[in-house]
Amino acid sequence: MSSILRGNRDLIRSINRSNLLNAIKTQGEISRAALAHMTGLSPATVTAITGQLIQEGLVFEKATGDSTGGRPPIMLALNPRGGFVIGIKLMEGHAIGALTDLNATILAKDTIDLADKQVETSVNVLGKLVSRLVHSSGVRKKQLLGVGIGLAGVVDFTHGIVRQNPFFGWRNIQLGDLLETRLQVPVFIDNDVNTLTLSEKWINRGQPEDNFIVITVGRGIGMGIVINGQIYRGKAGGAGELGHTVVDPNGPLCDCGRRGCLESLVSDRALVAEARQVVSAGISDLDDLVRLANGGQVEAVGVLTRAGVLLGRQIANLVNVLDPKLIIISGEGTRMGEVFFSAVRTAFHDFVMTGLAEDTEIRVNSWGDDIWALGAASLVIAEIFKSPVQKEEGTNKSSK
């Protein structure tokens, strides 16, 4: 048999396996006969592949289903404890981690401090965090299917390289390889907002929309893009740097070195800095600004309203270009409240092209500390369920 023919057969079997695994995950419980009908695969193929999935522990047999007159069917379901993953959000000064099952249920979580911004220090600290999570969860290390890392900046997901990180000052760091050597498990790294976006697809049975955008507001302004059900990262992981679109060339200096970026005007730090100049009452942090604005303090309302207009205008521009079905706003900045988001929605409708706003939803998702770690965990969960065709196109780490 030629290697090409054998390779094609292996690929087809891998695709069939992926299709069956995803169908079982989506349906919750399903019989082999229903799987064959849904996927178009022969009963023999379904039986052979699901048998392998059961042996691997990813799928298990449940109680029999309803009978239509013959022998009651045995139902198959995803085994959430068939493997475990760890997600970590790497931030300035510390990292937040969570160990989850395949349903993204958190079994253990932890936070660890970073002594400095050196790569070697970060790798060692992340290794300690993984060990602590495995130990506290009671999971055996061999059950760990992988570790996902989310961090700010330009990240080449395909090759596991941090091209640029604004907080650590890293450039072209092969963080994926360094961590895989340390941890001895597969490691996937991505921009933190991309991980958050992936979680919208893979957690809680996935995001039903195939075209949507996630925007995070907080320490920075980030964006994740899903087009036709697939996350769009750009040629080297740089897609989605919404915070560094210039809205005022004469504006304040941004961390990236340019002036007037959206982030320099709408991020938490930018709003607090502006409020300290124009609000008569004392401002120590964003919570003070929000509290005053909610109480009707005119200058505080003005600060949040101006910021909301800027973000709403940029969202309108995104819809004019990409025409997504859904815009999700998340991150620490969601606590800015109705004053800010009312201005966002008003500006969006003022600047979006006629006909595009009617069927576009803007949704504000509540935010908590766990969401970033869950997003990073979804990197690994997504790889488990990803089609081998997509893996060939997007996760070849062999060439650097």
The Cα–Cα gap between 84 and 281 comes to 49
40 belongs to a structural domain: yes
Predicted pLDDT of residue 396:
43
114 belongs to a structural domain: yes
Between residues 202 and 180, which one has the greater pLDDT? Answer: 180
Predicted pLDDT of residue 393:
53
Q: With 50 as the cut, is the pLDDT of residue 379 above it?
A: yes
C-alpha closest to that of 155 among 168, 174, 178: 174
Between residues 295 and 358, which one has the greater pLDDT? Answer: 295
Q: b/e string for 148-178 if b means 16 or more Cβ within 10 A?
A: bbbbbbbbbbbbbbbbbbbbbebeebbbbeb
The residue with tokens 């979006």 is 352
Summarize the confidence of residues 29-42 as an average pLDDT.
90
For residue 376, give the 3-state DSSP assignment: helix
Mean pLDDT, rounded, of the chain: 88
Residue 128 to residues 4, 28, 63, 132, Cα–Cα distance (Å): 44, 35, 41, 6
Q: Tell me the two tokens of residue 139.
A: 């999971």
List alpha helices for the chain, DSSP H: 3-27, 32-39, 43-56, 119-137, 175-183, 192-202, 263-266, 268-278, 286-294, 298-322, 337-351, 370-385, 388-394
Q: What is the pTM of this model?
A: 0.83
Query: Could you tell me the pLDDT band of residue 272, with boundaries at 50, 70 and 90?
Result: very high
* Claim to verify: residue 175 and residue 321 sit in the same structural domain: no
Q: Tell me the two tokens of residue 104.
A: 């993204």
347 belongs to a structural domain: yes
Residue 226 to residues 65, 111, 160, 194, 288, Cα–Cα distance (Å): 36, 30, 20, 9, 35
* Claim to verify: residue 228 and residue 348 sit in the same structural domain: yes
Total of domains in the chain? 3
Beta strands in 65-191 (DSSP E): 74-78, 84-91, 94-101, 106-113, 144-151, 154-156, 161-164, 171-173, 187-191
* Containing structural domain, residue 226: 207-367
Give the pLDDT confidence of 95-154 residue by residue, as tens digits: 999 999 988 889 999 999 999 999 999 999 999 999 999 999 999 999 999 999 999 989
Q: With 80 as the cut, is the pLDDT of residue 1 above it?
A: no
Residue 170 · residue 353 · CB < 8 Å: no
Predicted pLDDT of residue 398:
38
* Claim to verify: residue 182 and residue 310 sit in the same structural domain: no
Q: With 80 as the cut, is the pLDDT of residue 7 above it?
A: no
CATH number (domain holding residue 39): 1.10.10.10
Predicted pLDDT of residue 331:
87
151 belongs to a structural domain: yes
* Claim to verify: residue 94 and residue 185 sit in the same structural domain: yes
Summarize the confidence of residues 375-399 as an average pLDDT.
69
212 belongs to a structural domain: yes
375 belongs to a structural domain: no
* Claim to verify: residue 73 and residue 103 sit in the same structural domain: no
Q: With 50 as the cut, is the pLDDT of residue 236 above it?
A: yes
* Claim to verify: residue 127 and residue 250 sit in the same structural domain: no
* Claim to verify: residue 26 and residue 170 sit in the same structural domain: no
In percent, the amount of the chain with pLDDT more than 90 equals 58
Predicted pLDDT of residue 10:
77
* Claim to verify: residue 216 and residue 304 sit in the same structural domain: yes
Predicted pLDDT of residue 333:
87
Between residues 366 and 186, which one has the greater pLDDT? Answer: 186
Give the pLDDT confidence of 274-312 residue by residue, as tens digits: 999 999 888 999 999 999 999 999 999 999 999 999 999
Give the pLDDT confidence of 109-120 residue by residue, as tens digits: 999 999 999 999
Last residue of one domain, picked from the residues 170, 200, 230: 200
The Cα–Cα gap between 96 and 372 comes to 8
Residue 341 to residues 276, 301, 306, 365, Cα–Cα distance (Å): 21, 12, 11, 12
Last residue of one domain, picked from the residues 23, 53, 78: 78
Last residue of one domain, picked from the residues 183, 200, 217: 200
CATH number (domain holding residue 283): 3.30.420.40
Summarize the confidence of residues 4-20 as an average pLDDT.
75
* Claim to verify: residue 247 and residue 287 sit in the same structural domain: yes
Give the pLDDT confidence of 46-90 residue by residue, as tens digits: 899 999 999 888 898 876 655 555 667 789 998 889 899 999 999
4-13, 17-26, 114-123: range with highest mean pLDDT: 114-123
Q: With 80 as the cut, is the pLDDT of residue 34 above it?
A: yes
Predicted pLDDT of residue 187:
96
Q: With 80 as the cut, is the pLDDT of residue 247 above it?
A: yes
Residue 328: phi, psi to the nearest 5?
-105, 125
264 belongs to a structural domain: yes
* Claim to verify: residue 19 and residue 49 sit in the same structural domain: yes
195 belongs to a structural domain: yes
The Cα–Cα gap between 96 and 175 comes to 17
Helices 119-137, 175-183: inter-axial angle, 10-degree rounding = 40
* Claim to verify: residue 346 and residue 319 sit in the same structural domain: yes
Residue 180 · residue 163 · CB < 8 Å: no
Residue 356 · residue 320 · CB < 8 Å: yes
Predicted pLDDT of residue 399:
40
* Claim to verify: residue 253 and residue 304 sit in the same structural domain: yes
